[in-house]
Amino acid sequence: MTHASIEKTGVIRALGLLSGGLDSTLAARLLLEQGIEVGCVNFHTGFCIQSHTSAIRNPKPGAPPPRHDALHAAQSLGVKLHMVDISSDYVRIVTDPKHGYGKNLNPCLDCKIFMVAKAWAMAKELGYHFIFSGEVLGQRPMSQRRDTFPVIDREAGVKGWLLRPLTALRMPETEPEKMGWVDRSRLEGFNGRGRKPQMALAKKLAITDYPSPAGGCCFLTDENYTRKLRDLWAYRNNRDYSMEDILLLKAGRHIRPAPHFKLMIGRDQSENLFLSGFRKGRMTIQTKNTPGPLTLVEGEITAAEDRLLACRIAARYSKGKDLPTVQLTVDDGNVTEVVEVTPLPAHELPDHWHV
Ligand code: SF4
């Protein structure tokens, strides 16, 4: 990235962080309107709700097929999109965030710093002159505040080279504005959590097809998900996780009857199919004489009473839950056996077993 390249070609190039939501789309569009060449980057952390939804959930009959918002937005904008998997480096952000967590296990400030630093490194490598994001002052309690923007810029090492086109008029001038590459008078000064100004701008720019702002994008802000992650950490006695761990937390009903084992029970056909991809190395329980979900057992269960309890719980979530007995196939990876058990009645399944 050199300024000389601008003198030579007259082309100013900006790399934006694109989630595919309305804000990042508008930010890109404001720069495109100024004749700036825009490229975008979308980071995969392993906690993206959208990629999970497309991977697991069957669309409702008649519903449009699931789409990837960033890909869709990049296509509509007509810009190049770099999709980058940062999930392995991201582990330390989730397990030990310097700036702590938000309401759930969302390390938003550390996450933003990490992504901005990555984007800036990419920009320099790929010949972009500055980076931009769709952040709006006051929109998110943890990371989009007047006092946190400078922290992001400083700790990501990008001071002055990260432009936030939607809120720029409320911020000090950035380097691309000072250099005259970006016309500040054509940027916005949005502020706060309200969406009306963004929607009005979208209308003005004829952007109509964008995802609902209500839809969350990250499992780390989801209370149910983070409860399962805390449970995983607590019973392992450490905060490490593998990609398989975090994928499995996204699907199924999780029940922990004892500290040393947990059951993961599919809630519908698509979850059963998803869970079946993780059979290796785990005991599985499947109903035999009645329809029922696939159950995966996480942890060691060798004691006969633990195995019986696991089977009775699995039977409870089958169509045979009211039958006197249900047959199940239990496969521990070495031996497959058929057992017949009485489904566990509801009153014997305490609430606190549900993770
Ligand atoms: S919601 Fe998730 S992806 Fe977004 S900033 Fe927070 S931790 Fe990062």
Task: State residue 134 phi and psi, 5-degree precision.
Answer: -95, 20
Closest atom, ligand 1, to C-alpha of 102? 6
Confidence check: pLDDT of 100 > 70: yes
Instruction: Give 189 Cα–ligand 1 centroid separation in angstroms.
Output: 23
Question: In whole angstroms, what is the distance from residue 291 CA to residue 320 CA?
Answer: 7
User: How does 181-213 read in b/e, with b if 16+ C-beta sit within 10 Å?
Assistant: bbeeeebbebbeeebebbeebbeeeebeebbee
Burial letters 31-68, b for 16+ CB under 10 A, else e = bbeeebbbbbbbbebbbbbbbbeeebeeeeeeeeeeeb
Q: Distance, CA 279 to ligand 1 centroid (Å)?
A: 30
| 1-5, 91-95, 248-252: segment of lowest average pLDDT | 1-5
Distance CA 69, CA 71 (A): 5
More confident residue, 56 or 336: 336
60 has a pLDDT exceeding 80: no
Nearest CA to ligand 1 atom 2: 218
Structural contact between residues 198 and 22, judged by C-beta atoms closer than 8 angstroms = yes
95's tokens: 């397990």
Position 118 scores a pLDDT of: 98
3-state helix, strand, coil in the chain (%, to 5): 40, 20, 45
Asked whether 106 lines ligand 1 (CB < 6 A), one says yes
Q: Which atom of ligand 1 is nearest to the CA of 143?
A: 5
Pocket test for ligand 1, best of 41, 51, 92, 112 (most atoms within 8 A of CB): 112
| 336, two tokens | 């497959």
Residue 1 reports pLDDT greater than 60:
no
pTM over 0.75: yes
Is ligand 1 within 6 A of the CB of residue 108?
A: yes
Q: Would you state the structure tokens that stand for residue 167, as one six-digit string?
A: 């809120």
Report all structural domains of the chain as residue ranges with CATH numbers, in order of start. 3-204 (3.40.50.620), 251-353 (no CATH)
Asked if 335 contacts 284 with a C-beta cutoff of 8 angstroms, the reply is no
Percent of the chain with pLDDT over 70: 96
Please check whether residue 327 is in contact with residue 340, taking contact to mean a CB–CB distance below 8 angstroms: yes
Ligand 1 near 292 CB (within 6 A): no
Q: Which of 36-50, 105-119, 214-228 has the lowest mean pLDDT?
A: 214-228
pLDDT in tens, 280-294: 999 999 999 999 999
Three-class SS state of 246: helix
**pLDDT tens digits for range 193-239:** 899 999 999 999 999 988 876 656 899 999 999 999 999 999 988 99
Q: How far apart are CA 144 and CA 17, in angstroms?
A: 15
**Residue 51 confidence class, pLDDT cut points 50, 70, 90:** low
Question: What is the Cα–Cα distance from 282 to 296, expressed in whole angstroms?
Answer: 6
Q: What is the pLDDT of residues 9-21, one digit of tens each?
A: 889 999 999 999 9
| C-beta 199 within 6 A of ligand 1 | no
Neighbours of 348 (CB within 10 A): 12
Q: What is the pLDDT of residues 300-341, one digit of tens each?
A: 898 999 999 999 999 999 999 999 999 999 999 889 999 999
What is the arithmetic mean of pLDDT over 92-120?
Answer: 96
The rounded mean pLDDT for the chain is 93
pLDDT classification of 58: cutoffs 50, 70, 90: low
Does 267 have pLDDT greater than 70? yes
CB of 107 sitting under 6 A from ligand 1: yes
Backbone angles phi, psi at 135, to 5 degrees: -65, 145
- Of ligand 1's listed atoms, the one at least distance from the Cα of 218 is 2
